[in-house]
Structure 1
Amino acid sequence: MKNRVFGVIAFLLLTALFVMPTSVTTVAKAEQSVYLGGMPIGIGLAENGLIVTGFVDVITDEGAVCPARGTEILTGDLITEINGSFVKNATDFASILQKSEGDVTLTVKRGENEYKIALTPATDSLTGLKRIGLTLKNGINGVGTMTFILPETLKFGALGHGIVDADTGKPFVCDSGSVYQCRIDGFKRPEKGKAGELNGKFLDKGSPIGKITRCNAFGVYGTVEKGVTKGLKFIPVASRKEIKPGAAEIYSTIHGETPEKYDIEIVKAATQRKMQEKSMLIRVTDEKLLKETGGILQGMSGSPIVQNGKLIGAVTHVLVNDSTLGYGLYVDWMLENAA
C-alpha cells in the first residue's frame, strides 16, 4: 500500500509549531561513529490504540449530546484502554463499549502523560447503540528517511523533525510505534507554492524491522533489529562546532531502497547552545538531483548530511517557494534524543 510521506515539511508551515529550545548543551563525542542511514523507512505510530480526531453529537431521545465534550479529552489524544481492556482498533473499542454498563473509564495518553477519564455513554435513538461522541482513527503511517544507527545499542534516529497529524493539525507526540522496510516507487516534482514528495510503499507491514520509543519535535527514535545494519557504511560523527559553511553531501533515496550521495552547500551553520530546529541552511547543488527532483522532496527528511567524511546532521525542511533550499538539524540534537 502507498503511504503518505512525513516530509521534509515545508518550513513556512512548521516554524511556529516546532521551535522548542531546551537546556541541553551536550555535543557529539569526538570519537563517536555510527552506521550511516539514507535508506527509506516506513513509520507506524500509535499502533496500539485509537487517536481522537474530533467530537460529534449523539442524537438521543432527549436531544443532541456529546458525552466526551467538556471532559479532559483533547483531539490528538491516544486512547489505549476502555474499562481496563486494551483496544487495538475501532472494533475492539465498540465491542467493549456496547457491553459496558453505566459509566466507562478511558485510559488516555497525551505525549508521555497518561490519564483516566470517566464519562457516561449516550444511547443513539436511531440505532440503540451506545456512543461517547468521539471520532477515532487507527495510528499514523508514513514514509521518511533513516539518519543513523548506533553500533552497540542499535538505537536509531530518523526524520529530524516533528510530525503533524493531518486530521487534527496538531503535533503528534508518542512513545510507541514500529519501523518497516520501505521502497520508493516514484515521486512528484514540486509545483509553484507546493513541495514535491516521494511515493513510498511498505514492503511487509506484518514484519517490523524496529521499534519506535520516542516521537517528538526533533524526529523519531527507537531501536532496530541487528540485521538492519548489514552493508551500511560506518562513519565518524562531527559536533556542531566542527561544521563550516561550504561543500557537503546528503545521502538519500529517490528510487528503490538504496541511498545515493548528492552534493549540497551549507549556506549557514547557526550557533546553537540549546536544542533547536533550523541548525543549518542548505542548498542542493547536485546537477543530477536538481534535474530529477528539482531539489528537496517531502520524504527526504532524515537524509544524513555529511561534511569532510563525518556525519553532521539531517535534512529536515524544504522551502516551499524554492525547493533547492532547506534546513537541517545538527546530529548533536538527534544523538541526545536517541540516547
Structure 2
Amino acid sequence: MKKRSVLLVISLLYCTFLQLLVELPQMHQAQVSQVEPSVSGIWSKVIRIEKTSSVSASSSSLSNSQVSQKLDIAYKLFGIFPLKTGEVEVMSPMSLIPGGQSIGVTLQTKGVMVVGQAPVVDKNGKNSFPAKDAGIQVGDILLKIENQDVKTDQEVSNAIDAAGKQKGTATVLFKHQDQMVEKVVTPIYCVETGRYRMGLFVRDEAAGVGTLSFINPANNLYGALGHVITDADTNQKIEVYNGKVIASTIYAIEKGKRGHPGEKIGSFVPNSSFSGTIEKNTMTGIFGKMNGQVENPYFKEAIPVGWESDVKVGPAKIYTVIKGEKIEEFTVNIDRVMHNRTDSKNMIIRVTDPRLLEVTGGIIQGMSGSPIVQDGKLIGAVTHVFVNDAQRGYGVFIQNMINDSSMPGKQEAA
C-alpha cells in the first residue's frame, strides 16, 4: 500500500512537470526590466533560464522608442540538462488609454456570404438547387457574377436574374476555404417570385454590441471586442469590406446562468460622440481609426501596457457598461495565465465583484473587449464566458491585440 502511494505521488509530480514543460513559453515578449520569463513556485528551484544569445534591433521607423533586442533562451533542469529553448522579444515602452465604452458594430462583408441553401420551385413543381449542384457551399463568399463585383444580397439577386434571362447560365466567382473558384450556374425560373434564382440564402452584413478595449492617443487607433467577428450561421470569420463603430447605450441586461450565457441588450446612439472605421477583423478583435470624443472617467491619461510577462495570477479590474453609457469599474481575479496560445484565450478570469454578479451573473455577451487592468497596467481584454459557469471566462493578452493591430510597439530584429 505504501509503495503504491509513493508511485502515485511520483506519477502526479511527473505529470505536473510535463504540463509545466508544455506551458513554458517558446515566444516571450517583455519590457527591458523583465527580459527573462520566470518560473513560479517550487519549480523555480529546479528549472533555470539561461540567455544563450542576443541580437540588437534597430529602432522602428514607426516608433521613436529606444533600440530593442531579440534574445535566445534555454530552460535547463538544475541549470544543467536542456529541456526546451525559447525566444524573448524586448518590447518598446508603450501607453494606451483603456476603453470600457459600449459600442455598436456594423460590418459589411467583402463579397456576399452564403449562409444557407433554398430550393427553387420550377414550373413543374420540382425542387432544384442550382448553386449547390454547381458546387457552391454554405460559407463560400460570392465575389463576382458575370465578371461584375457583388457586394450586397440585392446585387446577387439582380445579377442572377439578368443572367438567367439573357443566356440561361451565370458564371460565378467565389472564395472557398481561401481558394478562388469559378463555376457556371444554371439559374431556374421561379414561378412564385417571377425571377431566375440559384437557390441560396446570402448575407452581406453583420451588427452587434460590444466593448471598446483601448485607444492609442498618439494616432487614434483603437482595438475592441478581443475576438474575431464571425457569421451567426456559418461561424466563419467575416472578411471586412466596410464597417464602423459608434456609441451604444445599454437599456437591459439578460442575466447569465449555468448553460445559458447572459447578454447586454442595447441600441446604437443616433448622435454618437465618436465613430470609428473597421479596418481589420482578427482573431483578437477589430481595429481601426477613431474620430470624435472618447472618454473614460477612470483614465484621463494613457497608462502603461503590461506585456505577457507582467500578467500574474491575482486580483485585477475590468471596465464596462451595464446601464446607459456609464463606464463602471469592477473587480475580478485572474485564476490562470496560459502561455503559448495563439487565440484569444490567454487567461482565465473570475468575476469577484458582488454588484456585477448581482446584476449580470458574471461575464455576459456584449462584455467582450472590456479592458483588464492589473497593477496600474493595461494587460488584456475580456473575450469569452464559460457556458457552464458565467462567473468565469477568458481574456486575451493586450500584446496580442497590439500585434494583430499592426500598431507600433514591437521592434523587429535588423
Amino acid of the residue matched to residue 263 of structure 1? T
| 1:36 counterpart = 2:98 | yes
With over 3 angstroms needed to count, the CA separation of the structure-2 counterparts of 1:26 and 1:107, relative to structure 1, is: farther
- 8 A Cα contact 2:274 2:294, kept in partner: no
Q: Are the aligned partners of 2:112 and 2:153 in contact in 1 as well (CA < 8 Å)?
A: yes
Q: Does 1:46 align with 2:108?
A: yes
1:161 aligns with 2:227: yes
TM-score (norm 1): 0.82
2:251 to 155, 161, 185: 185
Aligned pair partner of 2:387 in 320, 329, 337 = 320
Following superposition, the deviation at residue 80 of structure 1 comes to 4.5
Distance 1:161 1:298 in 2: 12
Matches within 5 A, 1:135-150: 135-150=201-216
Which fold has the larger relative contact order, with Cα–Cα distance below 8 Å and residues 6 or more apart in sequence?
Answer: 1
Q: Given the alignment, which residue of 258, 261, 269 partners 2:337?
A: 269
Instruction: Determine the structure 1 residue equivalent to 2:122.
Output: 60
Q: Which digits, 9 at most, give the CA deviation of each residue in 1:283-328, with x for residues without a partner? A: 1111221222221111101100000111000111111222211111
Q: Equivalent pairs: percent with the same residue?
A: 35
Aligned residue number for residue 258 of structure 1: 326
Name the structure 2 match of 1:90. 153
- The change in CA–CA distance for 1:155 and 1:52 in structure 2 (over 3 A counts) is same
Q: How far off its partner does 1:183 sit?
A: 1.1
What do residues 77-113 of structure 1 show as CA deviations (whole Å, max 9, x unaligned)?
3334433444454333333332232232334356876
Query: Structure 1 residues 183-192 or 329-338, which shifts more?
Result: 183-192
- Structure 2 unaligned blocks of 5 or more: 1-25, 32-90, 407-414
- Structure 1 residue matching 2:130: 3-state secondary structure: coil
CA distance in 2, matches of 1:283, 1:26: 25
- Residue 240 of structure 1 is matched in structure 2 by 308
CA distance in 2, matches of 1:59, 1:109: 27
Using structure 2 for the length normalisation, give the TM-score. 0.68
Secondary structure in 2 aligned to 1:296? coil
Deviation for aligned residue 1:237: 0.3
- Give the SS at the match of 2:132: coil
Equivalent in the alignment of 1:5: none
Q: Structure 2: how far apart are the matches of 1:208 and 1:121?
A: 45
Partner of residue 141 from structure 2, selected from 78, 82, 86:
78
Aligned residues: 314
1:331 is aligned to: 398
What is residue 9 of structure 1 aligned with on the other side?
A: none
Q: Which residue of the partner structure matches residue 238 of structure 2?
A: 173
1:44 Cα shift?
Answer: 1.4
Is 2:353 the counterpart of 1:291?
A: no
Q: Distance in 2 between matches of 1:195 and 1:328?
A: 16
Whole-Å Cα distance in 2 between the matches of residues 173 and 165 of structure 1? Answer: 6
CA distance in 1, matches of 2:405, 2:224: 9
- CA distance in 2 between partners of 1:48 and 1:40 (Å): 25
Q: Quickly say closer, same or farther: Cα 1:293–1:134, change in 2 above 3 A.
A: same
Distance 1:238 1:251, change over 3 A: same
Greater percentage in helix: 2
1:138-173 deviation digits (Å, cap 9, x = unpaired) = 4111111111122333222211123343223x2323
Please give the secondary structure, in 2, of the residue aligned with 1:68.
helix
| Structure (1 or 2) with the larger CA radius of gyration | 2
